[in-house]
Amino acid sequence: MTFIKKTLASSIAIAATAAMATTAQAEISDGEIRIGYLADMSGVYRDLAGPGGLEALRMAVEDFGGSVNGAPIQVFSADDRNSADVGANTVREWIDTRNVDMVAGLVASSVTIAVTRVLEENDSFGIVSASAASSITNEHCTPNHIHWVYDTYPLANGTAQAVVQQGGETWFMLTADYAFGHALEGDVTRVVEENGGEIIGRVRHPFPTDDFSSYILQAQGSGAQIIGLANAGADTVNAINTASQFGVVEAGQQLAGLLVFLNDVHAMGLEATQGLLLTTGWYWDMDDEAREWSERYYERVGRMPTMVQAGIYSSTYHYLQAVEATGSDDPQTVREYMMSQPIHDFFARNGQLREDGRMVHDMYLARVKSPEESEGEWDLYEILTTIPAAEAYRPLSESQCKLVQN
């Protein structure tokens, strides 16, 4: 039995489950819980979510016992190819022909925003675990989705603030030209300026991009102390590798990877990334609970999980608990119950789901270790400080979400 199951077995929530168990089967549509996993399975975001995220979801289903109150859990998946049209059409087909109860995964923010509109139009439900744009629970919020792992707001609060406070006052922004990149650039600009720094230049690149030469040259020519990378996945890796080839760091400029994943650091190696500051929602080696789950994951996948893959497990398990406790897969019933329950598992500390759909939890400022400090292939981060949940995320008082009563 897993840590989560043991912890919550004694909670009031599970006590409520027993009272509703006799009517649960009749209230679960079609007699099954159907989960569709939609993600980039073959492109630039494959490693941060992709097949590994699907495996994490399957682990959650298995750990839950494979059924909810006697209703079997069915899982299917699709590759969105980082296309908003492909993602929206896939989910529309799932709703029309497969009666999907919950859509999981969701990586590229442009895909996520398109999909959540489909979910709202059809009164279905989705849990966003891999997208970064803070607008997903701000101006693009809906009552039919929630956002679990991280977004651009705490990334900017953590990394940008730390860099400016260490003396990095002038910035050049290198930004992926779509919703996520724009949101991250905006949040970083806010934090830099609030802390006395200045954005002295910016350029936006297509998503995805293989050749960063011209963009790195523009960043070098700006004379900025910091080159902020408002991109992710293979784009971030390519940008950092190009900067290394052009001698950016040797010339006195510093890179700030504003959304860097464990798989990125692993791919580039500690020689290239040592000393890099980053903000993360979770790290596999942060404590005993995280290590226990990560080692099980490693046995199945052969690599340590990213925060996204851990978050997919956490969010799926919390969803299944809500279905079990309420005896229903109705989106609003499930969402309301999920909002009522504090979240504390191997992934989240001080977690709570707010009315805007944002799951807030503690975030962490980390530093990439040097090759000499590392004690193993996946020993990559040193956690420097905890950013409390209440400080990490956008306050509801600043929210543009239609669900928030300001």
- Supply the pLDDT for residue 276: 86
| Cis, bond preceding 208 (omega within 30 deg of 0) | yes
According to DSSP, the β-strands at 170-176 and 198-205 are parallel
Q: Are residues 49 and 95 in the same domain?
A: yes
Please check whether residue 406 lies inside any domain of the structure.
no
Residue 371 vs residues 99, 218, 235, 267: alpha-carbon distances, Å: 50, 30, 24, 14
Backbone angles phi, psi at 164, to 5 degrees: -65, -40
Q: Are residues 202 and 100 in the same domain?
A: no
Q: Are residues 57 and 86 in the same domain?
A: yes
Please check whether residue 400 lies inside any domain of the structure.
no
Tokens of 277: 């500051």
For 100-125, the pLDDT digits (tens) are 999 999 999 999 999 999 999 999 99
Q: Are residues 275 and 296 in the same domain?
A: no
387 touches 292 (CB < 8 A): no
Q: Are residues 385 and 334 in the same domain?
A: no
- Supply the pLDDT for residue 1: 43
Strand partners, 278: 366
**251 CA to centre of own chain:** 33
**29 CA to centre of own chain:** 29
SS3 140: coil
72 touches 97 (CB < 8 A): no
- Supply the pLDDT for residue 141: 98
Domain count within the chain: 2
Q: Where are the alpha helices (DSSP H) in 302-343?
A: 307-326, 331-340
Q: Are residues 180 and 213 in the same domain?
A: yes
Name the E strands within 95-160: 102-105, 126-128, 145-147
H or E element that contains 292:
helix 288-301
104 touches 35 (CB < 8 A): yes
Q: Are residues 81 and 54 in the same domain?
A: yes
Q: Is 269 left (phi over 0), alpha (psi -120 to 50) or beta?
A: left
Separation CA 119–CA 25 (nearest Å): 24
pTM score above 0.75: yes
Separation CA 79–CA 315 (nearest Å): 20
- CA end-to-end span of the chain, whole Å? 42
For 234-255, the pLDDT digits (tens) are 899 999 989 989 999 889 998 8
Q: Are residues 11 and 115 in the same domain?
A: yes
What range defines the domain where residue 351 resides?
3-150+285-360
Q: Are residues 185 and 334 in the same domain?
A: no
Q: Are residues 36 and 123 in the same domain?
A: yes
Please check whether residue 92 lies inside any domain of the structure.
yes
Q: Which residue, among 257, 106, 128, 280, has the nearest Cα to 184 in the 3D structure? A: 257
Please check whether residue 398 lies inside any domain of the structure.
no
Q: Indicate the DSSP class of residue 132.
A: -
Separation CA 7–CA 345 (nearest Å): 8
Separation CA 294–CA 329 (nearest Å): 29
Separation CA 244–CA 251 (nearest Å): 10
According to DSSP, the β-strands at 254-257 and 71-79 are unpaired
Please check whether residue 51 lies inside any domain of the structure.
yes
Residue 307 CB neighbours (<10 A): 23
Separation CA 190–CA 160 (nearest Å): 10
Backbone angles phi, psi at 379, to 5 degrees: -85, 85
SS3 323: helix
Please check whether residue 258 lies inside any domain of the structure.
yes
Mean pLDDT by 10 residues, the chain (406 residues): 43 40 59 97 92 98 97 98 97 97 95 97 97 94 98 90 91 93 92 96 94 97 96 90 90 90 93 88 97 98 97 98 97 97 96 98 93 97 92 94 89
SS3 386: strand
Q: Are residues 13 and 145 in the same domain?
A: yes
Separation CA 141–CA 57 (nearest Å): 24
Please check whether residue 330 lies inside any domain of the structure.
yes
Among residues 344, 360, 376, which one ends one of the domains?
A: 360
Q: Are residues 181 and 301 in the same domain?
A: no
Domain CATH for 98: 3.40.50.2300
Please check whether residue 396 lies inside any domain of the structure.
no
